[in-house]
Amino acid sequence: MSKPIVIIGAGLGGLSAAIHLRAKGFKVELYEQNPLPGGRANRISTDGFSFDTGPSLINYPWVFEELFAASGADMHRYLTLKPLDPSVVFFWRDGDRLALSADFQTLAAELERFEDGAHAKLTLFLAETQRRFHYLFRHLVTSNARTILEWIAPAPKGELVRLGLHRSLDRELARYFRSERLRAALGSYAMYLGGSPYELPGTFSILPFGELYYGLWYPEGGIYSLVEAVCRRAEEIGVRIHSNCPVRAIWVDGSCVNGIELADGRVIEASIVISNVDVPTTHELLLGQSYPQRRWRMTPGVITFYWGIRGQSSTMHHHCIFLPDVPRRAYRQLQRQLPDDLPFYLSMPSRSDPSVAPPGSSTAFVLVPVPTLSAAGTAFDWEKAVEQARFEVLRRLEHHGFSITPSDIVVEHVWTPHQWRKHFGLHDGSAFGAVHTLTNIGPLRWHPRDRKYQGLYYVGASTTPGTGLPMVTLSGKMVADMIAANVCG
Ligand SMILES: Cc1cc2nc3c(=O)[nH]c(=O)nc-3n(C[C@H](O)[C@H](O)[C@H](O)COP(=O)(O)OP(=O)(O)OC[C@H]3O[C@@H](n4cnc5c(N)ncnc54)[C@H](O)[C@@H]3O)c2cc1C
């Protein structure tokens, strides 16, 4: 193939596809609209404070090791990953808290405070979910199958039943834990996949499992160090990353792709184009076509606060999740409005890594889930929502004894779903992409190969396997394998 493969967007999915394709011998040109690559995993630097914009938790580190290994490199020569213990601490309003430790005995003792016999239940949960986890990763998560039959064909029937597709995540967790608080904490990851634990399939118990069993990791220097390491490796092997290069259109001729047009008018010919831009945005803005609405139920939006704080807290943890008293009500309200008992996540990376803040100061990242732009409606007052969210978060922190006063916040950036859409082309301001409900996973999710245009592919959170840094990194490998098989096969 003489023409290079063109990738639109330097999110981690686009970068992963670029490395895998280059490692297979293809020429790759990657066009990114922003000054910095990384997509949602970006960086804001102000007055000595350094903020990761989106992802703050890294799990499944082997997925990133495999990305470097595919290009013949050892990730650990590019990046230092540190385990975090405790990984996450959950807080309830009455003062109760749950710290998830990577050490089994410590974790079991912690769970035992919530439920008698939790040690044995945890052992059973980990053993059974581990089996499911390995099975899913080996056969289903990384499958490029186009139909349900093709997807599940390799699965022995017993395994399929054990996947828990037929029950909700909450009901799956209830098979092991009676305590509503344990289930609320372990099920809270559902929000990032666009549902509630009462709606998402039980299969996703692999999320809390992954975190409990394999732990959470932090790259020295912040999450953006991972992006920098990946970009460095990509460029070393010959991927050309063109930053500040917005793409205006994907050119098609009949049923074939034949290139892209940049915003400055240049046309780049290509017979293979991979879009790392959300699929609906690709259709609307780059192909000038409507997309099938029915398929696009999106995960919620987020209001994110980036705070540079004077002083240091010795009691705050790196990852904290503040849960509502009645999770069902909060998940329901989140469909349309700011929940009145606001759940939120706070990360204070300066606790583990002083390099991200000036001496004697701290950084905090607060993520408040909110409805998508269309769900909130045009009358929704986002400025008011920001004020309300800031007030509620500070009040709740004070309630738990972590008092940050507005005057301690010396630097503040705030992004609403409007900014998330503007910066990265996120459809409807949704933070995590299309939902992962039963009707939108595997072959029912948008396929990486376009059905209409030959040579057009997708990579990243909109397509398979789904959202999250490890998943979009796998998506890059999957699309590269598919292209190599089509071109060379
Ligand atoms: C607030 C937040 C917190 C998160 N927390 C975590 C977490 O803790 N752990 C985790 O694993 N995941 C987390 N995620 C999810 C994770 O960030 C995403 O799933 C992942 O980064 C998406 O990567 P992607 O490859 O789909 O591309 P994206 O990151 O969406 O990147 C797409 C790229 O395309 C570019 N682009 C768009 N339009 C054009 C155009 N016309 N021309 C050129 N370029 C264009 C964009 O600028 C962007 O760089 C979080 C996400 C958010 C928003």
State the alpha helices, DSSP H only, in 343-462. 373-376, 382-399, 417-424
Nearest ligand 1 atom to the CA of 426 is 30
β-pairing, 88-91 vs 319-322, is parallel
Q: What is the pLDDT of residue 342?
A: 94
Among the atoms of ligand 1, which is closest to the Cα of residue 9? 34
- Which tokens sit at 93? 């309003």
For residue 361, report the phi and psi dihedrals to the nearest 5 degrees.
Answer: -120, 175
Is the CB–ligand 1 distance for residue 56 below 6 Å?
yes
Residue 141: the pLDDT is 81
Six token digits for residue 172 = 């799956």
Q: Determine the distance separating the centroid of ligand 1 and the alpha carbon of 216, expressed in angstroms.
A: 20
Residue 311 · residue 360 · CB < 8 Å: yes
Q: Which position has the token pair 């089994």?
A: 104
The structural domains of the chain, with segments of one domain joined by +, span 5-41+222-296+435-488, 105-213
144, 146, 147, 151 alpha-carbon torsion, rounded to 10°: -10
128, β-bridge pairs: none
DSSP code at position 447: P
* Ligand 1 centroid distance, CA of 40 (Å): 3
**Which atom of ligand 1 is nearest to 278's Cα?**
30
Residue 360 CA to ligand 1 centre (angstroms): 31
Ligand 1: which atom is nearest the Cα of residue 475? 25
Cα 339 to ligand 1 centre (Å) = 25
| Residue 382, both tokens | 């986002």
How many angstroms is it from 426 CA to the middle of ligand 1?
A: 8
Ligand 1 centre to CA of 320 (Å) is: 22
Mutate to test the pocket of ligand 1, among 60, 277, 320 (most ligand atoms within 8 A of CB): 277
Q: What separation in angstroms does the CA of 154 have from each of 135, 230, 261, 446?
A: 11, 33, 42, 21
pLDDT at 489 (0 to 100): 57
**Ligand 1 neighbourhood includes 276 CB (under 6 angstroms):** yes
Q: How far is the CA of 277 from the centre of ligand 1 (A)?
A: 9
pTM for this one?
Answer: 0.96
Q: Give 481 Cα–ligand 1 centroid separation in angstroms.
A: 22
Reference 446, options 434, 432, 428; nearest CA is 434
Q: How many CA atoms lie within 13 A of 168 on its CB side?
A: 15
Kindly list the averaged pLDDT for each block of 10 residues, start to end, along the chain of length 489: 91 98 98 98 98 96 97 98 94 96 92 94 94 83 83 73 81 95 92 81 90 94 98 98 98 95 97 97 94 77 97 86 93 90 95 94 96 95 97 95 90 98 97 86 89 96 94 97 85
476: Cβ below 6 Å to ligand 1? no
User: How many A from CA of 399 to the centre of ligand 1?
Assistant: 33
* Cβ of 191 below 6 Å from ligand 1: no
The per-residue pLDDT for 1 is 65
Tell which atom from ligand 1 comes closest to the C-alpha of 16: 25
Q: Whose CA is nearest to atom 47 of ligand 1?
A: 424
Cα 409 to ligand 1 centre (Å): 27
- Using the mean position of ligand 1's atoms as its centre, give its distance from the Cα of residue 69 in Å: 23
Q: Three-state DSSP class for 151?
A: helix
Q: Which of 16, 32, 33, 40 to mutate to test the pocket of ligand 1 (most atoms within 8 A of CB)?
A: 40
Q: How far is the CA of 41 from the centre of ligand 1 (A)?
A: 6
CA 56 to ligand 1: nearest atom: 8
Q: Which ligand 1 atom lies nearest to the CA of residue 466?
A: 19
State the pLDDT at residue 488: 67
Count of CB atoms within 10 A of residue 439's CB?
11
Domain 5-41+222-296+435-488 classified CATH 3.50.50.60?
A: yes
Would you call 246 helix, strand, or coil by DSSP? coil
Q: How far is CA 269 from CA 250, 458, 484, in A?
A: 10, 18, 19
Nearest Cα residue to atom 27 of ligand 1: 11
Torsions phi, psi for 111 (to 5 deg):
-65, -35
**CA-CA distance, 356 to 353, in Å (whole number)?**
6
Other Cβ atoms less than 10 A from the Cβ of 325: the count is: 11
Tokens of 353: 């890594």
Query: What pLDDT shows up at residue 487?
Result: 81
